[in-house]
């Protein structure tokens, strides 16, 4: 068995659901798959001495899960006061409207189509609820509307699908763009260097104890894949499907459709930069 400390980002072992930091509790949604790993991580955030909580990514439209999130908060003496979304993919956001009904909360997101209430989210926003401070970090690339949430008191960042607890993520072309994604990874790296962030609370998979290591791994992985795609094109592989079959030959074929989205994003990036 591989030691978790030797893996990128040092993933934390053990059960995913439950307390992750002093201010963050995970409730794992029952939607495991090749794309969602163990399922969607729904995060309940609050100050230890506060009776108010913020929920990030209620998850899929699964009434049992949504009620379990509410019950978990209530058992800890918390009332859900606000709902936030990292991005609009259904495994993170499809349950948001129903969750808002159950809790009487607003839903804040970057995409106006996902909001319930007048307030959205934007770069530089700081959310304070029950003494909890969350700073909004724009991290487009996986999707155009992807956000991360910096939790300074725990030296942690909630990354949605921008960084996963295991494996790497998809640049969901055409909405996702590789140039944006690389910029977002560099922005997250600056949090680890300049702001002391050391813990990643991802949208899927285990907590990562080495945030900087995770970001560096992601940047190196993207550079490697981009070089592979560029070489494949030079070798005569022209269509995205051909490139996927060549470059991702060692990857489970069930993941090839998702890999093709990333390849399309990489091909666009190479073309935009005059490299193919």
| Residues tagged active-site | 91
Question: In whole angstroms, what is the distance from residue 275 CA to residue 28 CA?
Answer: 42
CB neighbours (10 Å) of residue 33?
Answer: 11
Q: 28 has which bridge partners?
A: 41
Cβ-Cβ contacts under 8 Å for 62 (sequence gap 6 or more):
29, 30, 31, 95
Question: In whole angstroms, what is the distance from residue 193 CA to residue 225 CA?
Answer: 25
Residue 123 near residue 138 (C-beta atoms within 8 A):
yes
Residue 135 near residue 149 (C-beta atoms within 8 A):
yes
Query: Residue 155 — φ and ψ, nearest 5°?
Result: 50, 45
DSSP string, 129-192: ETTEEEEEEE-TTSSTT-EEEEEGGGTEEEEETSS-SSS-----TTTS-HHHHHHHHHHHHHHH
CA distances from 53 to 80, 168, 233 (A): 5, 30, 50
Question: In whole angstroms, what is the distance from residue 27 CA to residue 73 CA?
Answer: 10
Cβ-Cβ contacts under 8 Å for 107 (sequence gap 6 or more):
83, 84, 85, 96, 97, 99, 100, 114, 115, 116, 117
């Amino acid at each position: 068995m591989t030691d978790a400390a030797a893996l990128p980002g040092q993933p934390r072992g053990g059960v995913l659901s439950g307390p992750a930091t002093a201010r963050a509790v995970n409730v794992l949604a029952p939607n495991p798959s090749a794309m969602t790993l163990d399922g969607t991580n729904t995060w309940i955030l609050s100050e230890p001495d506060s009776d108010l909580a913020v929920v990030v990514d209620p998850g899929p439209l699964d009434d049992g899960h949504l009620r379990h999130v509410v019950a978990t908060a209530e058992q800890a003496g918390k009332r859900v006061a606000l709902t936030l979304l990292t991005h609009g993919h259904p495994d993170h956001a499809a349950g948001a409207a129903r969750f808002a009904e159950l809790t009487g909360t607003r839903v804040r997101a970057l995409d106006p189509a996902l909001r319930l209430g007048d307030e959205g989210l934007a770069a530089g926003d700081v959310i304070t609820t029950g003494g909890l401070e969350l700073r909004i970090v724009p991290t487009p690339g996986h999707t155009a509307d992807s956000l991360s949430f910096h939790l300074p008191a725990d030296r942690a960042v909630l990354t949605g699908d921008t960084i996963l607890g295991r494996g790497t993520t998809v640049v969901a072309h055409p909405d996702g763009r590789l140039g944006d994604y690389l910029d977002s990874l560099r922005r997250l790296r600056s949090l680890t260097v300049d702001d002391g962030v050391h813990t990643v609370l991802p949208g899927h998979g285990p907590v990562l104890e080495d945030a900087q290591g995770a970001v560096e791994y992601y940047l190196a992985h993207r550079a490697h894949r981009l070089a592979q795609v560029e070489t494949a094109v030079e070798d005569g592989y022209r269509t995205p499907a051909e490139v996927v079959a060549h470059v991702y030959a060692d990857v489970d074929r069930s993941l090839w459709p998702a890999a093709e989205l990333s390849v399309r994003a990489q091909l666009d990036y190479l073309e935009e930069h005059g490299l193919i």
